[in-house]
Structures are given as C-alpha cells and as structure tokens.
Structure 1
Amino acid sequence: MRRIVAILFAVPLIVGAAPDPRTARAVHDRAIVLDTHFDTPANLGRAGWSIMDRHDVATTGDQVDVPRMVEGGVDGGFFAIYTAQGPRTPEGDRAARDAALVRAVQIREMVAAHPDVFRLTTTSAEARAAVAARKRFVFMSMENGYPFEADLTLMRTFQRLGVTMMSPVHFRDNDLADSATDKPEWNGLSETGRAFVAEANRLGIVIDASHSSDLALRQMIAQSKAPIILSHSGVRGVFDHPRNVSDADLRLLAAKGGVVQVNAFNGYMVPQPKIAEREAAIKALMTGIDPAKATDADRRKVLAGRKAIDARWPVPKARFDDVMKHLFHAIAVAGIDHVGMSGDFDGGGGVEGFDDVSDYPKVSAALLARGFSAADVAKVWGGNALRVLDEAQRRAEPGVKPVIPVTG
C-alpha cells in the first residue's frame, strides 16, 4: 500500500488543460537544457559537413546542429566519443585508442573553430557560465571503454582532453564488463572493470552504465563511491528489452543518487518483431558503408533504402507519447530527482514526432501538462545530470582536474 501511495505522490495523475504554448516555452527556456548523449561527433569527419549548417533529418538523417539547437532551446550536452567494439587484441586496442583520440581532437577543433558559439566545459559551473555568455556548452563523454580497456592510465589522458563521463561497454562484451546485448562473460564487471570504477571515482569521472548488463550495472552502483548515470536508456517496466533498466535497478540507482536519462530509440520504446527478410535487407543495405566516413550521398541512399524496407516489411513505430510513457514511468519509480532526457540523436534515436533537437520543447510542455512544476522541468532537463557530475567531481582525489584548454 505504501508503494502505491508513493507512486501517486511521485507522478501527478490529474492532467489539466495543456499549458499556454508561450508559458511552456518560457519554462523550457529558463531551464538549462542538456542532452547527455549526442552521437553527433561521428559527423565531424564527414567531408563538407558543418554543425553550423541546418541539416534535414528526412534526407540525411542528421538530428543535431546549431540552428536546431537554437530552435529547440538546447543549451548544450555531452558529445560522445563512440568507438565500436572490435578485436580485443593489442592491435585492436591501439586502433581503438587512436580513433578515440582523433575524435576527441575533432570535438575540440569544432569548439575552437566557433568560439563565439561553443565553449568546452568540464564542470556544471562552467556550463552555467557558458549559458550566461549565450554560448552552447560542450561536455565530452566516451561511449565504450574499448579505447582504454588495455591501459586504464589512458582514462586520465582522455580526461585532460576534456572527457567527464565514460561508459565501460557497448553492444558487445569487452575486457571491462558484460554488455546488455551479449552473452555473459564476466558475470558483470571483470577485475579490470572494477579497477575502472575505482579509477573513475578517483578522477571524478561520471560512470555511465548505459549498455551494461544488469549485473554490471548493479556492481557499479554498489562499488562506486559517487552516483552513476544511465546516459540514454529506456525502462523495462514499459517495454521488456535487455537494453532497458528494470524497476528494481531504477530504485538502486536512485538510492545511490544516480540518474536515468530516458532515450528515444525506437527499438527500445515499443516491441519490434523479428523479420528475417527485413534484417537481411538492412544488412545488405549497409554493406560497404562506414557510418564514420559516409558521404551525404551515402546517407541519402541508406535513408531511401530504409524507407523501402519499412514499406515492404513494416514494424511498429514508436511515437512521442511512447517516449513520455518511459519518462513518466521512470519518474514514478525513481523520483523526479533521478530522471532526465536524451534523444540518442545522431546515434539511431528519434521517433515519430520527436526526431531532432528542435522537438525538445515538447517534453517540457508534456511535463507541465501532467502537472509538474517549472522546477521539475529544470531538474529533468539538466539539473539532475549536473548534480551527478558535481557529486562525482566533489569526491575526486585532489589535484586531478587540469584540462588542456581549447584555443580558437
């Protein structure tokens, strides 16, 4: 009975009239709006591509750029250094390290090339100062620990380049941890994975458990001295998928002060039937195309091909309301202080009615319509994530902070 009462108080169930659009937008604009997982850095190596240009999600799939950040009232976010898992060999580890270093430099070059627009930030105070200066803040994160799994001292190297958040694993197991979408190898964290948690705590780096197995997530929560984050995850209470987090683990996460950032990835929002012909067609479409090197022509070809595949073998499409179901469920279980938002944009995220950063004000309006306050909206959009960053850095060992500055 007490659990039911707690849920009733956690999420206002009386839905009044929709807020005036101008009021909702004003609330949105007063909040610090950040996304904890932009995969946009993958575009920085594309010939002729610029984050300063407005792109079209319908033709090239691009979801994040400065014009649409302005339109969506997005103040900044965590720009991810993503490294696909490859061979766990000395050669593979070196290649992953080098690729991640290149991507980190590309992010810094983006900031340096547009000093009137961007500011590289590593603390919440710096992010707030960037907003006050009418600039978009750029945090750096790492998705997958492949680049440093063989040498954890590289964590400090990446931190000095500006990285403030790291995840140990992605779609496949690696030397640090089991993935949510692979067969268990370590029963959670490996010995090196446990050392990763300790080193992240020492350095004040936020631990991101998205893509980790349930056991790895629980072990990180238990071992970490600082709260951790799920930078882009759905909730299993709405859709039972291994990439989504269970209610029990949401409670563990919240009890430790952590935050789940609800994503908008179609396959994690609603059930997706397995259609062998469809999967074979998608695989054939992507053969020979390196997402990191794809030209606009390649991307247009892929999008056109996907539309043809969807027409021939349709699957359910998630909508904005489905994303909100995940968000409201996470709030009901974990509490308003432990939930945020990430579109997982430029990394496969996006659903009908919510497919680029210009759509972010819709979330604020939906929260207000549900009865949440302006203060609640501010927590969801950035306050909770920045609190986790603050706490991780507060617990760091003294003397590890200096970051190589960006010069324009």
Structure 2
Amino acid sequence: MTKRLALLALLLSGCAAAPVVQAPAQKAHKDFLVLDTHLDTPLHFARAGWSFDGHHDPATDLVQVDMERMRAGALDGGFFAIYTEQGPLTAKGYADALAYARGRSDLIDSTLAKFPDRIGRALTPDDALRLNREGKLVAFKSMENSYELGEDVSLLEEFYDRGVRLAGPVHAANNQFADSSGDKPKWHGLSPLGRKWVEEANRLGIAIDASHASDDTFDQMLALSKTPLLLSHSSGRWAFDHPRNLDDERIRKLAAKGGAICVSTIFLANMNMTPERAALFARYEHISDLSPAEQADLAAKWHELDKTQPIWGKADFERYMEMVLHVIKVAGVDHVCFGADWDGGGGLPGIADISALPKVTERLRKAGYSDADLDKMWSGNILRVVGEAQKAAGR
C-alpha cells in the first residue's frame, strides 16, 4: 500500500499545474495615439470671447473640438485645416482667396503659440511621436481646396513652408485644378494645371488628399501620384450612394497603392439642407464675425432645428459603425483611419463630438480588432502615408 501511495505521489508531482501566464492587458482608448485628419476647428479660433483652451458646453456651443476635450484623452491631435471657400475663377477671386488662406494659416499658428506647453506643431511623423511622448497635443496643418493658388502652382511651396503637409486640389465645386464630386464634369478629372499640381505636391513631399475629388479626379491622381493618397474625410458609398463617398472598388485600388481612407461621419444619408439650415450654415461659416450674443443665438437656433430636422436624417452612431466595419473589411486595417469632419458638418447622434471617440475603440474591440490594428487605424496609417510622401520628395 505504501509503495502504491509513493508511486501515486510521484505521478501527481509530474502533473503539477503549469504557472498561469496572463495575457497582456488591452490598451485603453487613451493609450493610443489618436489622430484625426480633418479638423475645421480653426474657423472658431478668432471668435470673440472664445478660447481654444476653454470649456464649451455642447448644449450651448457648436464647437466639437477644444483642448479640454482633447486633453481628456478622446483626441491627441490631427490636421487643422486651412479651408478656403470656392469663388470665381478670376484674378481677383484668386487674390482674395490667397489673402484669406494666408490669414487662416497665420491664425492657426498664433492660436497654437498661446499654448506652447500643451500643443505643438508637427511637420513630420517623428514630430507627432515626440510631442505625444512629451504629453503634448499634436497639430499638423492641411489645406482643403487649392483654389487660392490661382494659376501658380509654385505657391504650393509657400504653404509647405507654412507647415502644410496634406492638401487637396478641390472642394465642393470644380476649380482650375480638378473636377469636384459635388459638380458636373468640366475637366473629366484633372485639368492640365491639376496634373502639374500633383507633380508639385509630390516634389514638395505633401501628401495628396482625395476627399471631395470626383471619381475621375481620384482615378487620375491615383495613377499620377508617386506616393499614396489619403482621403482625409470620406465615407463608403456602400453605406449611401453619393458621389462624395468612395465605392468599394476604388477603396481596394486605394489600398493596393498604399493609401488610406479616413472614414467620416458625413453623407451616410442625404444632407438635410433646408433653406433654414442653409441660412444657419452661412452664419456658422462666419461665426468669428459674430458677437458672443449672436454666437449663442446661432447655437440655440441650430440645436432647436436639430430636434425636428437633423442634418443627416436618421444616420446615427450605429449606422456609422456599420460603415466603418465594412470599409475595414474592404480596405484592410493597414488602409483605414479616421477623419470625422469635426466642426465642418460632421457628427451624428451618439457620436456628436470627440468625447464619443472611445466608443469607436470599444466597438472595434468587440469586432475583434487588436492593439496593433487599432494603433494603425488611429494614427499609424496616417503617419505612414505622410512619411512616404516626405521620403519621396524631390525637392
């Protein structure tokens, strides 16, 4: 009996449980470097009585991005846009637009300079990583619409020197460079001057933004550019058949050439642009010209209209995430990023401002995406495309 017990003890000792190895904890949303490729927030920078660093109640203000919410961990930075409204294709139109764009660029610089310990300008991917390590917010600069360059593509170098590292040739209407997704074909893609614009962007090392471009313009830029394209704020046409959105086949072609689509919250339904909404948008575009009382009045009327006539109809966070997951499936995690069009018409019920971004990470987690996947989609793919443009620069 004693021998049997000894033998049993020997067998059991050989079967002792191995030490439990715990899987590493998943990163929280705040632990990722979270960048957005299209922030229209500079239109608020010159508002009377307003500060980028202040507290702005979403119930009484229309701004969706401010440093208080950014510091809370929802957003670490991104591309602050120099947006220039499309005007007449005339010498005076070009001159007026150029003066405006220079002023908007200076406004971005002067605003950031007020908070040197909290936010820093980024010119390269390494700058973004360094600023993040230092605990600072990241501010790249982009250019939405190149209309202000007139017929002189060499002016693009001035904006490169001003810090622009991402630029698109066209906005909501055709211009001297290209056809817009929001207009009838004129050039059937790029104009001859637009082809020179692509060459100059490549030479300087500016990443090319294909959001707002027509399908033909997208196709031609994809073929001509020596570096991958970035769509700073575009949705998938799978979710809503609109020319502003990109179809699956073009998303695949974009990915095949190393580019990335930064998915937006816009055009998941028809834009409910009633005359009343259009009038409010017209005031909003010039909100910096309004007094604090007029700003409050605009916000109150905007929010009241939202109750009965939402900008994007019945589109909401759930529909947005359906579209995001579809785009990831089509493009792959190496070719997806985020650009919601904050402060430029973006935002939906359930994802109304940047404070909702952790919900996107949570939903992607539930869909099975890993830390490595999320690192790529929140910033890695953006920095890769920007870096490839800079490495290939011929300047």
| TM-score of the pair, normalised by structure 2 | 0.89
Question: Structure 2 matches for 1:45-60, cutoff 5 A?
Answer: 45-60=46-61
In the other structure, the counterpart of 2:123 is 122
Question: What CA deviation, in whole Å up to 9, does each residue of 1:329-366 have, x standing for no partner?
Answer: 11111111000112211111111111111211111111
> In 2, distance between residues paired with 1:313 and 1:53?
29
Work out the CA distance in 2 between the residues paired with 1:172 and 1:332. 31
Q: How does 1:58-207 map to 2 (within 5 A)?
A: 58-207=59-208
Return the structure number with greater relative CO, CA threshold 8 A, min gap 6. 1
Looking at structure 1, the residues matched to 201 and 216 of structure 2 have their Cα atoms a distance apart, in angstroms, of 19
How many residue pairs get aligned? The number is 369
TM-score by length of 1: 0.86
SS at match of 1:232: strand
Tell me the residue number matched to 1:375.
372
Unaligned ranges ≥5, structure 1: 1-22, 401-408
| Contact in 1 for aligned 2:189/2:216 (Cα 8 Å) | yes
- The answer to whether residue 219 in structure 2 is matched with residue 218 in structure 1 is yes
Q: Corresponding residue for 1:11?
A: none
* 8 Å Cα contact 1:166-1:205 kept in structure 2: yes
* CA deviation profile, 1:251-273 (whole Å, cap 9, x unmatched): 111111000000112xx11345x
Partner of 1:298: 294
Matched, 1:269 2:268: yes
Distance 1:295 1:168, change over 3 A: farther
Shift of 1:303: 3.2
SS of residue matched to 1:36: strand
**Alignment equivalent of 2:317, drawn from 304, 316, 320:** 320
Mean Cα deviation higher: 52-61 or 214-223: 52-61
Does structure 1 conserve the Cα–Cα contact (< 8 Å) formed by 2:29 and 2:73?
no
Q: Distance in 1 between matches of 2:385 and 2:364?
A: 22
Taking structure 1 as reference, are residues 283 and 346 closer, same or farther at Cα in structure 2, changes over 3 Å only? closer
Shift of 1:212: 0.6
Secondary structure of the residue aligned to 1:322 is helix
**Paired residue secondary structure (2:58):** coil
Q: RMSD value over aligned CA atoms?
A: 1.8
Check 1:174–1:345 CA distance in 2 against 1; reply closer, same or farther (3 A cut). same
CA positional deviation for 1:57: 2.4
> 287-296 vs 217-226, which deviates more?
287-296
Structure 1 residues 294-314: Cα deviation after superposition (integer angstroms, max 9, x where no partner): 344333323333344445556
1:244-283 to 2 correspondences below 5 Å: 244-265=245-266, 268-271=267-270, 279-283=274-278
8 A Cα contact 1:72 1:359, kept in partner: no
Q: Distance in 2 between matches of 1:365 and 1:384?
A: 19
Q: Any unmatched runs of 5+ in structure 2? A: 1-24
Percent identical among aligned pairs is 44
CA distance in 1, matches of 2:244, 2:268: 10
Deviations 1:351-386 (A, max 9, x none): 111111121111111111111101111111000111
Give the Cα–Cα distance (whole angstroms) in 2 for the partners of residues 74 and 284 of structure 1.
30
* Offset at residue 284 of structure 1 (A): 4.3
Indicate conservation of the 8 Å contact 1:36/1:341, yes or no: yes
**Which structure: larger Rg?**
2
CA distance, structure 1, for counterparts of residue 357 and residue 291 of structure 2: 27
Post-superposition shift, 1:292?
4.5
